[in-house]
């Protein structure tokens, strides 16, 4: 029986079926898990531990990107991805997540000599072990910082997937210095392959970044999407095209993109009628998971149970599931009025 929200908000939120749409597989690696992985690889030393702790002391978005890079370049073989996927899915299940579209940038690992098909097989192996509790899909996320050729490589790998896990293509990284318009050809190609499209936009750049992501790249979803102004062209695009905004409040706070959770636009976005979802982005790096986002919205913002259920419904409505699969979750009693 689902707990009453007024009696135990966190338990009720955990029992609420949810999808997570903006989270990186690599982002489930926290400092402890990173040390465990290097110990399995026999590459751990006390000095390396100090270096890892230094990386995780980031306070700004550019330094977060450096920490993220240090972590991902520590993977040595396909078995590392089996362990990481097990970790990610067990944590998501514990939060009441039943469907997840998880981002991964495989070119980083393939270019370091890890076989793509072996890597995917290990992720698939971990996903099959808990397929009765959570459905996993992957979005191959190109890194802007490495240029159009790197993004194209990630998208071409998506088209080679044999597991059926890859559902979409995306773009992350430094949007201020690598604008979306540089990657139009790559997104056109991905769309022609039948991949669904998402894009980090409005995380560290303004409305212009979001406009390019929607108009030039054809993104169905925007990750972060901070700074939408009422009456602006960007708002008109979001509303007219029913673009889903995948919000990551605690991520924005930890990377210094916003100064306080009190200034996060979630409440105003709801009032303006945008379709928004809550997401964790990189829970291992930020120390805050998806359930924490919902609990923050309930406790700190004072959103009532119906609004919170609406956020959970939006997570399925904005997903890349087929209409029939999406409707199964939307019709579930837990998400009804």
Distance CA 221, CA 170 (A): 9
Q: Residue 149: CB partners within 8 Å, gap ≥ 6?
A: none
| Joined tokens for residue 91 | 């944590």
Burial class (CB in 10 A: 0-12, 13-18, 19+), 261: middle
Dump strand ranges (E) for the chain: 18-24, 97-104, 135-143, 166-172, 196-201, 221-224, 244-247, 275-278
CA atoms within 13 A on the CB side of 189: 15
Q: Say if residues 209 and 239 touch (Cβ distance below 8 Å).
A: no
* Residue at token pair 């430094």: 174
Beta bridge partners of 143: 172
User: Pick the catalytic residue: 20, 122, 203, 207?
Assistant: 203
Single out the residue of 51, 19, 23 nearest to residue 35, CA to CA: 51
Please give the angle made by the CA atoms of 3, 5 and 7, to the nearest 5 degrees.
75
Copy the structure tokens of residue 299: 């406790």
203 is catalytic: yes
Catalytic annotation, residues? 203
């Amino acid at each position: 029986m689902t707990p009453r929200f007024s009696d135990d908000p966190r338990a009720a939120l955990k029992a609420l079926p949810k999808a997570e749409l903006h989270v990186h597989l690599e982002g489930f690696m926290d400092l402890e898990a990173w040390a465990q992985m290097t110990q399995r690889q026999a590459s751990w030393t006390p000095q390396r531990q100090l270096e890892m702790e230094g990386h995780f002391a980031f306070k700004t978005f550019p330094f977060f990107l450096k920490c993220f890079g240090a972590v991902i370049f520590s993977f040595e073989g396909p078995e590392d991805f089996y362990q990481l996927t097990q970790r990610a899915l067990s944590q998501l299940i514990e939060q009441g997540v039943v469907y997840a579209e998880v981002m991964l940038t495989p070119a980083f690992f393939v270019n370091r000599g890890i076989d793509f098909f072996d890597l995917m097989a290990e992720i698939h192996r971990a996903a099959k072990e808990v397929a009765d509790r959570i459905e996993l899909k992957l979005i191959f996320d190109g890194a802007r910082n490495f240029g159009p050729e790197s993004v194209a490589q990630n998208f071409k790998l998506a088209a080679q997937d044999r597991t059926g896990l890859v559902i979409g293509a995306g773009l992350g990284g430094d949007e201020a210095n690598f604008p979306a318009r540089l990657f139009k050809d790559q997104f056109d190609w991905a769309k022609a392959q039948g991949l669904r499209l998402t894009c980090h936009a409005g995380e560290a750049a303004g409305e212009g970044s979001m406009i390019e992501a929607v108009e030039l790249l054809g993104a169905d979803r925007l990750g972060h999407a901070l700074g939408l102004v009422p009456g602006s062209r960007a708002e008109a695009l979001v509303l007219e095209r029913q673009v889903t905004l995948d919000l990551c409040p605690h991520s924005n706070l930890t990377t210094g993109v916003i100064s306080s959770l009190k200034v996060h636009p979630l409440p105003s976005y709801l009032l303006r009628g945008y379709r928004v979802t809550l997401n964790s982005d990189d829970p291992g790096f930020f120390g805050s998971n998806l359930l924490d986002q919902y609990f923050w919205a309930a406790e700190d913002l004072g959103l009532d149970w119906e609004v919170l259920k609406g956020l959970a419904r939006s997570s399925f409505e904005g997903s890349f599931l087929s209409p029939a699969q999406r409707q199964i979750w939307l019709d579930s009693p837990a998400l009804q009025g």
